[in-house]
Structure 1
Amino acid sequence: MSHTAHIPSHRKPRRSASKLAVRAGVAGGVLSTLAMAGTASASPSAEPVAETTLEMPVLNLDLGADVSSAVTVAAENTRLAAVAGELTAQEESARTGAAAEAKQAKEEAQKKADAEKAEKTAKEEAVRKAEAERSSRSSGSERTTLKSTAAPQGTGTVSAPATGSAAAIVNFARAQVGKAYVMGGTGPSSFDCSGLVQAAYRQAGISLPRMSQAQSSAGTSVSLSALQPGDILYWGSKGSAYHVAIYVGGGKFVGAQNPSTGIVERNLSYDKPTGAVRLL
């Protein structure tokens, strides 16, 4: 074997210098601390170390009361919201109901107006038919025609056996047959009922009031069964009559009836008068 051959060593391997230095430093620090502590505890004149206590703030909260108050407020808010919702619903319902009632009332008023209009139209039609039937019956009746001793005015015929003032009145009235009826008319081309009677009596020199009410009470009342030519016939109450005409004899009268017929000669049965007065 060679003398220079490597023989393994049984010694522990050396530590590195840096590690040894760190360990030495740590040990020295520990020994220094122990020495200072021993000195402090051995010194009788050393003052005791004052201890400081940190107090944490105490939270004085009544959580139960707060929770109860919050629940109460929430419940009240819920109740108020429900009441408000109910009021709103009631208001809306009231508005809807009022609108429906107004619509129904309008429809009922319209129906009533339509019904009244239809009823009025039916009555007018019935009056026209009745007037047409009367006119037809009258046109078929026989008339006795005589010559008048007075000068006729307008159209018409003279058929009444009258004398004196009565003849003048009758002849004038019949001479106006066929002329127009005009409310307020006093001649010579048109008359209303009282205008015709007034103009006829003027032919006999008799002045009559203008209106039918006054004419119906201008003379002496006579029975319809004892009429004489020239008597004034009236419809309605005496003193408040709404229509007048002149009796011309033979159960007939001459009168300004209405705008549709004008001045006509009719039988008493055509439209029976209420009464009569006599001025002659």
Structure 2
Amino acid sequence: MSHTAHIRSHRKPRRSASTIAMRAGVAGGVLSTLAVAGASGSANAAEPVTQTLELPTLTADVATQVAQSADATQLAAANYELQAERDAAAANAAKQAKADLAEAKKKAAEAKRKAEEAARKEAAARASRNAERTTLSTTASTSTSTSTSTATGSAAAVIAFAKAQIGKSYVLGASGPNAWDCSGLVQAAFKQVGIDLPRVSQSQSTAGTQVSLSNLQPGDILYWGSAGSAYHVAIYVGDGMFVGAQNPSTGIVEKPLSYDPPTGAVRVL
């Protein structure tokens, strides 16, 4: 035995052929891969790279949410527009109401002014009538026999006819011979002398010349109310007396002027 036989050899152990072949194959594959990679890199360096990005597809839930959001936005816009229209309408209504109120106040003031003016005129007219009636009553109470006894011609005929009807009935619308109303009696009395008077009191109060109650003559027509709108008429017979169809309770009577002072008189004779 050799003197080195017991010493482990320092040489590398032999590799088997299969191991060597496998490593060679791996190396070859790596080199092939590098070669392909290199070729690919060269090709990529020569041509520009185009990259395409694909947007994500909306799912049904996301699409619904987007639609609902759009509807909500549109509804909010519509609400804002409607509110703006309402505010504008309210402003216009307030402006119109203010104008209407001012106009109403103006009309009310004008109506009040007219009413006050009419009241003043009526008071003045009433005072004038009262004064004239007072004068008439005084004249009637102090007058002497300058009426019936001195009435001649047509006036005497008119008065005679009127007095002949005293005691007969008053019937509204009657024209004799057994009943009369006020204007029917006056019309019939003047018809005796050929004077054709209107049928109603209103027209008879303007049928002749207006005369003062302080200057009456027998045969004058007395009226109550305003000229042209009188509601009663009678005949002045002198001595401060008149004959007329007064009302259903009295019938045709002869009364002093103070019994029911007239408003005015007209002369047709």
- Specify which structure has the bigger relative contact order, considering alpha-carbon pairs within 8 angstroms and separated by 6 or more residues: 2
Higher helix share: 2
User: What's the TM-score once normalised by structure 2's chain length?
Assistant: 0.45
TM-score (norm 1): 0.43
